[in-house]
Amino acid sequence: MNRVAVDLPVEDAPSAAARVPDDGRLAVSGFGSVGYPKAVPLALAESTGRTLSLTVVSGGSVGDEIDTALVEAGAIERRFPYQARPAAREAVNARRIAFQDRHIAGLGDEVVSGGLVAPDVAVVEALAVGEDWLIPSTSIGHTPAFVEAADRLIVEVNRAQPLSLRRLHDVYRPGRPPNREPIPLTAPNARIGESRISFPREKLVSVVETDRRDSPYAFRDPSSTDRAIAANLSAFLATEIARNPAFASSVNLQFGVGSLGNALMGELDGVDVGDRTVAYYGEVIQDSLLDLIDDGTLSVASATSLALSAEGQDRLFEDVERYADGIVLRPADVSNSPEVIRRLGVVAVNSALEVDLYGHVNSTHVGGTRVLNGVGGSGDFNRNALVSVTALPSRVRGKGVSRIVPMVPHVDHTEHDVSVVVTERGVADLRGLGPSERADLLVEECAHPDDRPALRAYLDRARGRGGHMPHDLETVFDWA
- Per-residue pLDDT tens over the stretch 433-461: 999 999 999 999 999 999 999 999 999 99
Q: What is the pLDDT of residues 131-176, one digit of tens each?
A: 999 999 999 999 999 999 999 999 999 999 999 999 999 999 999 9
Q: How many helices (H) and strands (E) does the chain have?
A: 17, 24
pTM for the structure as a whole: 0.96
Share of the chain above pLDDT 90, in %: 91
Active site residues: 283
117 and 55 Cβ atoms separated by less than 8 Å: yes
Mean pLDDT of the residues in the chain = 95
User: What per-residue confidence (pLDDT) applies to 271?
Assistant: 85
Q: Calculate mean pLDDT across residues 62-72.
A: 97
Q: What is the pLDDT of residues 293-349, one digit of tens each?
A: 999 999 999 999 999 988 999 999 999 999 999 999 999 999 999 999 999 999 999
Q: For the chain, how many residues are written?
A: 480
Task: Quote the distance between the C-alpha of residue 201 and its chain's center.
Answer: 31
Domains in the chain, start-ordered, CATH in brackets?
13-210 (3.40.1080.10), 224-465 (3.40.1080.10)
How crowded is residue 411: how many other Cβ atoms within 10 Å of its Cβ? 16
pLDDT value at 376 more than 90? yes
Alpha-helical regions (H) of 94-247 = 107-112, 143-149, 224-243
**387 - beta bridge partners?**
347
pLDDT value at 259 more than 80? no
139 and 306 Cβ atoms separated by less than 8 Å: yes
pLDDT value at 258 more than 80? no
User: What per-residue confidence (pLDDT) applies to 267?
Assistant: 78
User: What per-residue confidence (pLDDT) applies to 344?
Assistant: 98
Contacts of 296 (CB under 8 A, 6+ apart): none
pLDDT classification of 98: cutoffs 50, 70, 90: very high
**What does the alpha-carbon distance between residue 229 and residue 422 come to, in Å, rounded to a whole number?**
7
Strands 76-80 and 54-58, bridge-based pairing = parallel
